[in-house]
């Protein structure tokens, strides 16, 4: 598979020689009878640094379809609301693989979220899929999709081309872009952050300097790829929190050439240049931010995507795991593989999840705490681990599936029972 590298670069690619117009976007008659379409994921007037759009040259205009009707699959892909939201610390067992053939769209289960598609916020979903999508595409008009596979590789076919995304990689699909998901390594499971806010971008680096964390050159966008299929093709659209369906008489993956900077991309989390203390104290986890969706309040994200990758721990006279914490931001976590260093007592399994909503105390379990307080503080490599967090400025509301779907652990609080009380002189 070929890729073009760079975050938010202005790319140009054609799958057929001569398909991409030169020197203009919308010629009177594009080559071969292709149709030009602008795909805008920022307002036309957004400042240049935030402006995102691509020009697509396709076999038929996207306008050619009948009305959408309500879609009745993906029953657990919903908008969370207040009725299910509690201050409790929550933790879930991994999502089991479904029985029978369930694809990525029908396999999406909403656990939580905040805001709404018009004003910003996020949706948090897990997916478990046993079948690829064939003559079916998904268009999420509500949010950009940050896809974090945990098991099973995905081949994401988008209007702009294809991305192979195994566990350990992430994918970003722009709001509104059609895509379908094939499974290239059997049943697949993972996490999705649906971003209703400003599209994800790389965080500023401040005093870190010009390099470090995720490097723009490690993001990969597809090259143009199309299929010429004249057959019924369903498009499922998420719009205003609801699902809709229409059927085309052709594949929507018919973009022969494109140029622009609004693109899907993938990123290998192993490329993350992890920075931590080389003296003492555990830095704030913002040091591990891969991508951020800023809000209108500076430094206070709609969503930060943060990872806890393999790394050396060298802090002297330092409690090395995450400290006990109450946070104005709300934290949803998942585990891709291994063990998370704040939960060595078990219970946070790969494919599982946890939620620590705003100002609710959390941190290392009793076992992680005891081990860390007794540890010989020689340099140690934490190796088999890859956890992540979707951290958001607003309370993360939960869904009926999250609260009563059978995966919520009833005894999560107990992992913090039994700390010996301090003894004063």
Ligand X SMILES: O=C(O)Cc1cc(O)ccc1O
The answer to whether 331 is annotated as binding is yes
Residue of 389, 396, 408, 415 interacting with ligand X (CB under 6 A): 389
The answer to whether 76 is annotated as binding is no
The answer to whether 340 is annotated as binding is yes
Q: How far is the CB of 317 from ligand X (least distance, A)?
A: 18
Residue 389 host element (H or E)? strand 385-392
Residue 342, binding choice from ligand X, Fe ion, none, Cβ under 5 to 8 Å by partner class: ligand X
Residue 52, binding choice from ligand X, Fe ion, none, Cβ under 5 to 8 Å by partner class: none
Q: What are phi and psi of 416, to 5 degrees?
A: -110, 20
Closer residue to ligand X, CB minimum distance, 217 or 326: 326
Alpha carbon distance 194, 400 (integer Å)? 18
Closer residue to Fe ion, CB minimum distance, 331 or 344: 331
> What is the DSSP-derived secondary structure letter of residue 190?
E
Q: How far is the CB of 325 from Fe ion (least distance, A)?
A: 5
Closer residue to ligand X, CB minimum distance, 347 or 400: 347
* Strand segments (E) across 69-174: 69-70, 90-92, 108-116, 120-129, 136-140, 144-151, 154-158, 161-165, 169-173
List the catalytic residue out of 125, 259, 282, 356.
282
The answer to whether 325 is annotated as binding is yes
Q: How far is the CB of 352 from ligand X (least distance, A)?
A: 13
Q: How far is the CB of 356 from Fe ion (least distance, A)?
A: 6
CB 54 within 8 A of CB 260: yes
- Print the binding letters for residues 321-350 with ligand X: x by CB under 6 A, - otherwise: -x--x-----x----------x--------
Chain residue at closest Cβ approach to ligand X:
322
Coil/strand/helix, residue 399:
coil
Residue 94, binding choice from ligand X, Fe ion, none, Cβ under 5 to 8 Å by partner class: none
List of residues 6+ apart from 9 with CB closer than 8 A: 216, 221, 261
Site for ligand X, residues 289 to 328, rule: CB under 6 A: 322, 325
Examine the residue annotation and report whether 169 is marked as an active-site residue of this protein: no
Q: How far is the CB of 347 from Fe ion (least distance, A)?
A: 16
How many other CB atoms are found less than 10 A from the CB of residue 263? 32
Does residue 241 interact with ligand X by CB under 6 A? Answer: no
What does DSSP say about strands 120-129 and 108-116: parallel, antiparallel, or unpaired? antiparallel
Residue of 178, 180, 362, 393 interacting with ligand X (CB under 6 A): 362
Closer residue to ligand X, CB minimum distance, 109 or 387: 387
* Strand segments (E) across 196-232: 220-222
> For binding to Fe ion (CB under 5 A), which residues are involved?
325, 331
Q: How far is the CB of 389 from ligand X (least distance, A)?
A: 6
Alpha carbon distance 226, 39 (integer Å)? 17
List of residues 6+ apart from 314 with CB closer than 8 A: 276, 277, 278, 379, 380
> What is the DSSP-derived secondary structure letter of residue 7?
T
Alpha carbon distance 151, 242 (integer Å)? 27
CB 145 within 8 A of CB 170: no
Give the N- to C-terminal CA distance of the chain in Å, as an integer.
66
Residue 162, binding choice from Fe ion, ligand X, none, Cβ under 5 to 8 Å by partner class: none
Residue with tokens 């490690």: 218
Q: How far is the CB of 364 from ligand X (least distance, A)?
A: 8
Closer residue to ligand X, CB minimum distance, 136 or 356: 356
Coil/strand/helix, residue 84:
helix
Alpha carbon distance 223, 3 (integer Å)? 6
Closer residue to Fe ion, CB minimum distance, 315 or 364: 364
Closer residue to ligand X, CB minimum distance, 5 or 358: 358
The β-bridge partners of 191 are: 126, 148
Residue of 73, 98, 241, 285 interacting with ligand X (CB under 6 A): 285
Structure tokens at 75: 């029953």
Residue 400, binding choice from Fe ion, ligand X, none, Cβ under 5 to 8 Å by partner class: none
Q: How many residues bind ligand X (CB under 6 A)?
A: 9
The β-bridge partners of 285 are: none
| Count of residues in the chain | 425
Q: Which residues bind to ligand X, rule: CB under 6 A?
A: 282, 285, 322, 325, 331, 342, 356, 362, 389
Hey, which residues are catalytic here? 282
Q: Which residues are annotated as a binding site for Fe cation?
A: 325, 331, 362
Q: Which residues are annotated as a binding site for homogentisate?
A: 340, 362
């Amino acid at each position: 598979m070929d890729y073009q590298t760079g975050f938010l670069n202005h790319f140009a690619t054609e799958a057929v020689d001569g398909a991409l117009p030169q020197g203009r976007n919308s010629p009177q008659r594009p080559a071969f009878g292709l149709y030009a379409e602008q795909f805008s994921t920022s307002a036309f007037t957004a400042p240049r640094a935030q402006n995102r759009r691509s020009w697509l040259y396709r076999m038929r205009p996207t306008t050619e379809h009948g009305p959408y009707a309500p879609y009745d699959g993906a029953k657990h892909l919903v908008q969370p609301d207040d009725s299910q939201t509690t201050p409790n610390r929550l933790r879930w067992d991994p999502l089991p693989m479904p029985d029978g053939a369930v694809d990525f769209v029908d396999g999406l289960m909403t656990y939580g979220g905040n805001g709404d598609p018009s004003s910003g916020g996020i949706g948090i979903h897990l997916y478990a899929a046993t079948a690829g999508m064939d003559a079916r595409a998904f268009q999420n008009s509500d949010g950009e999709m940050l896809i974090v596979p945990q098991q099973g590789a995905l081949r994401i076919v988008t209007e702009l081309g294809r991305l192979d995304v195994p566990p350990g990689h992430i994918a970003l699909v722009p709001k509104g872009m059609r895509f379908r998901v094939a499974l290239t390594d059997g049943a697949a499971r993972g996490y999705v952050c649906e971003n209703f806010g400003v599209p994800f971008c790389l965080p500023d680096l401040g005093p870190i300097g010009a390099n470090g964390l995720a490097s723009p050159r490690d993001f990969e966008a597809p090259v143009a790829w199309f299929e010429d299929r004249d057959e019924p093709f369903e498009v499922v659209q998420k719009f205003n929190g609801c699902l809709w369906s229409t059927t085309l008489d052709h594949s929507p993956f018919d973009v022969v050439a494109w140029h622009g900077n609004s693109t899907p991309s993938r990123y290998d989390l192993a490329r993350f240049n992890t920075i931590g203390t080389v003296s003492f104290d555990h830095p704030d986890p913002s040091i591990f931010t891969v991508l951020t969706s800023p809000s209108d309040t500076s430094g206070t994200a709609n969503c930060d995507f943060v990872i806890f990758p393999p790394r050396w721990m060298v802090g002297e006279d330092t409690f090395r795991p995450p400290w006990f914490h109450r946070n104005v931001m709300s934290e949803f976590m998942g585990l891709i593989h291994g063990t998370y260093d704040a939960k060595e007592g078990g219970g946070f399994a790969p494919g599982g999840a946890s939620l620590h909503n705003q100002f609710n105390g959390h941190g290392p379990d009793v076992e992680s705490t005891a081990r860390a307080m007794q540890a010989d503080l020689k340099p140690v490599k934490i190796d088999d681990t890859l956890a992540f967090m979707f951290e958001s400025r607003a309370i993360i509301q939960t869904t009926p599936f999250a609260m009563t779907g059978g995966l919520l652990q009833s005894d999560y609080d107990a992992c913090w029972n039994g700390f010996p009380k301090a003894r004063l002189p």
